[in-house]
Structure 1
Amino acid sequence: MKKAWLMAIVAICSGVVFAISLFKVPPTMVLLMQEFNVSIAVIGLVMTAIAITSTVIALPGGAIMQKIGPKNMGLAAMACTLIGNLIGTFSSNFSLLIFSRAIEGFGFGLISLVVPTIIAAWFPAQKRGLPMAIWSLWVSIGMLIIFRMTNVIVPQFGWKGSWWLVTILFIIVGILFALIVRLPKEGEGANEPKLEQGEKVSLLEGFKSPMAWLLAIIFIAFGWPCAAFSGFYSTFLQQALGLDMAAANSIVSYATIGMIIGGILIGLLLNRIKNKNHGLVLIIIMALAAVFFYLQFEIKAVAILVPFVFASGVIQQLIPPTIFTIAPTAAGSPERIAATMGIISLGANLSGILSNTFTGPLVASFGGVWSKLSIFMLVITLVGVVAAIVLNMLLSKNYKAQSKVNPQV
């Protein structure tokens, strides 16, 4: 297990750098609007571009990984995002900045498939909950780092300082990933069917699982308001409440602290709760998320922002680990796990596209009144609650059928 944890830690740290690269935009969004002379209705395209290319690569990503192996795909993902980041560093106009983010998106979409595959290969099912939960924190940890570092770097080096930080971090994790990460040899790891280099996978087989698509729908319903929070909440605090950039970014960073705590708690909880009850857990936490997503643009009392943002972060981070834990069951067989992860990644990326494309224009159409988003966010999340209920019904049906064959299930 020491070797398994070493692989997991290096892979997860690599993912964190991708998250840092993704979220280097929100804390500098106001500066980018000034630098490139664009409005709130347009600046969201900088986040949308990365979500679009991540979505494009999500479904074929599983087949690519089967062809070249997860390690090679991880290195290709790092190279791709690093190149995009460097292009962005030297962007002289808004169109080039958007193009650079689109290049970054290909790597971001691939790494989201690579790390879970490495964890699944090294950890048996009964020990997979905690490393998967820690992996689900990659975005939260990346947000925490970049929102904190922005307040240190930007005053000295401007918005490009964050882009240079990403370049340095990618060089470091790229070397570590290349030297350390590998798939387990015979007798190591999970002792389950593994993805071998050159093995062919039919993506159509993965499309046959309705539960995989329900998980994707849930991720869209959760991810849309979640992306609105991570991408626009700092701007909301500055525009609606009059906070300066440093204060707004500092408040948002408390959400990432909550996410880290929430991710660890749900990982430990999922390991203690029987697999057949994970669907019920998902229903409960989606319902809680609906409440917090409704309130996120309603609360304007500065005194309670920090505890609210912290609690919201805890709730938000309960959902991805639960989805990832249910995913192998939704796949139906080990051979379909990569395709199922691709479907879930598709849902996650679509949520980013929808949120980053429409949140800004919606605020503009509301005359800058952010609170008018509240009902919209509530309705979207409730769609996810309904999908979770249907998913739980299908899971219960499957477990009942399995229990007839194996009473210990």
Structure 2
Amino acid sequence: MSAVVAFTPERTDWIAVTAVVVAGMVSAMQVGKGLIAGPLLQADLGLDLTALGWITSVFAIVGVVGGMPAGAMVAAIGDRRMLGIGMGILLIGILIGAASPNFTLLILSRIFEGFGFLLVIVTGPAILMRIVASTRRDLVFAFWSCFMPAGMAIAMLSGPLFQSWQAIWWINGVVALLSLLTVITAVSPATAGPCASSGGLRADVSATLTSRGPLLLFALFTLYSLMTFTLFSFLPILLVTRMHISLGTAGLLSAFITLANVIGNLAAGTMLSRGVGRGGLVIVAATLMGASGLWIFLSQSGDTLTFALCVLFSAIGGLIPATLISTVPMLSPRPALAPMAMGLLMQGSNLGQLIGPVAVGAAIEAYGWTSGAAFIGAGALCCILLATILDNALRTKPRETA
């Protein structure tokens, strides 16, 4: 296979950084639109809850299966070209979905969207590594890690403005087209072309999967995603039950809680750029997520406290993805394998997103809301244990010889 030769620029191209981050947000909007359009899809296509679950979970399935292959494609084809391809596939999926007359075609369109989404989120960090000065890298990766909560919140806040789910799809198509044109205009191609990898694809996959660093980050992101979606998958229902509010109000509050995750992401970038230890930061975040999550599920707190704990859970949780994403280049076996390691990280994210809602939903249905605490507590504890070796992994990683 081939890999793009990486170098560290002296200056940061902020216009290109903005274009890449916005592309990530636009891709995340496609996840959020599936959530907010649920009632409209039910009314128009007669879908049950199981079918609606497939509308959202297909993204996670594509991510679990295709994370590392997507990373390999980025390394072989080139980051800018692959980002354009990803946005193009995403746009095609959106347009097919907007014109879908039935559930079968809609699911097919979501597979296209899911693959485009995956290419964008794996390619974005590879471009940022290339165009961002090393002194700004932690901060820029923190901005990048905001793409998911910001994009989902935008989708959930804007969705109720439209009267049909097709209108939501069409407007997302326009936004995706504009983002694609911006990427083509603002992001410059790599100055160095692809160079051959001596061992080929199999050797690169083996090197990534047998390296302690990528596997550690994969496990940590899986646990973070499991904890996050344990709460977020049923957040509107939880708020309605605890706060006795309408579903519309619960959706608005859920969007605000999701957006609070951005605070943690940006805070992580600032702290990492000032030398705060990565393992220690993950430990603090996992501890506070665990404490607030246990309180939410085990107690019967009032309206204000329940909402405040959910905001805290989301905001403090944002420290973890920003830290892990910015650590990928540091723990990759070789710089050329960073996109593949990022793909593995995204597989962990989607694995937690896939198994979390199913397992937690079954547990809550069988044992009640308090059973969610078991997932939060176990996830936080395992996350803390793994984070204790993160800084050691960074200290002991051998230097690249060339």
Q: Name stretches of at least 5 consecutive residues in structure 1 with no aligned partner.
A: 186-193, 403-409
Q: Which moved more, 1:328-337 or 1:5-14?
A: 328-337
Deviations 1:91-148 (A, max 9, x none): 4444443332222111111111111011100123332011000000001111221121
- Structure 1 280/150 Cα, relative in aligned 2: closer, same or farther at 3 Å? same
- Within 5 A, what are the aligned runs for 1:3-402? 4-40=13-49, 43-153=52-162, 157-185=163-191, 196-197=193-194, 199-200=196-197, 202-238=204-240, 241-273=243-275, 277-298=277-298, 301-366=302-367, 369-396=368-395, 398=396
User: Shift in Å at residue 177 of structure 1?
Assistant: 0.8
CA pair 380-3 structure 1, distance change in 2 beyond 3 A: closer
TM-score normalized by the length of structure 2: 0.86
Check whether the contact 1:27–1:245 (CA below 8 A) recurs between aligned residues.
no
From the superposition, tell whether residues 358 and 81 of structure 1 become closer, same or farther in structure 2 (CA, over 3 Å): farther
Name structure 2 gaps, 5 residues minimum: 1-9
How does the TM-score come out when normalised to structure 1?
0.85
Q: AA paired with 2:275?
A: I
1:23 aligned counterpart, secondary structure: helix
Which residue identity does 2:287 align to in structure 1?
A
After superposition, the Cα gap between the structure-2 partners of 1:88 and 1:179, relative to the gap in structure 1 and judged at 3 Å, is same
Contact 2:360 2:375 in 1 (8 A): no
> Would you say how many aligned residue pairs link Structure 1 and Structure 2?
384
Q: Structure 1 residues 390, 249: closer, same or farther in 2, change over 3 A? A: same
In structure 1, C-alpha distance between the alignment counterparts of 2:21 and 2:137, rounded to whole Å: 14
How far 1:347 sits from its partner (Å)? 0.7
| Distance of 1:110 and 1:328 partners within structure 2 | 18
Within 1, Cα distance between the matches of 2:291 and 2:322?
A: 20
Query: How many angstroms does 1:330 deviate by?
Result: 1.6
Distance 1:279 1:323, change over 3 A: same
Aligned equivalents of 1:235 and 1:52: distance in 2?
A: 24
Question: Do the aligned partners of 2:57 and 2:354 also contact (CA within 8 Å) in 1?
Answer: yes
Deviations 1:377-405 (A, max 9, x none): 32133222222223344335x17x88xxx
The one-letter amino acid of 1:309's match is C
Instruction: Supply the distance in 1 between the matched residues of 2:237 and 2:92 (Cα, whole angstroms).
Output: 28
Q: Distance in 2 between matches of 1:362 and 1:166?
A: 35
DSSP 3-state at the match of 2:33: coil
Gap change, CA 1:270 and 1:360, over 3 Å in 2: same
Structure 1 residue matching 2:375: 3-state secondary structure: helix
In the TM superposition, residue 297 of structure 1 has moved relative to its aligned partner by: 4.3
CA contact (8 A) 1:50 1:103 kept: no
Aligned to 2:4: none
Shift of 1:28: 3.1
Identity of aligned residues (%): 23
Tell me the SS of whatever aligns to 1:243: coil
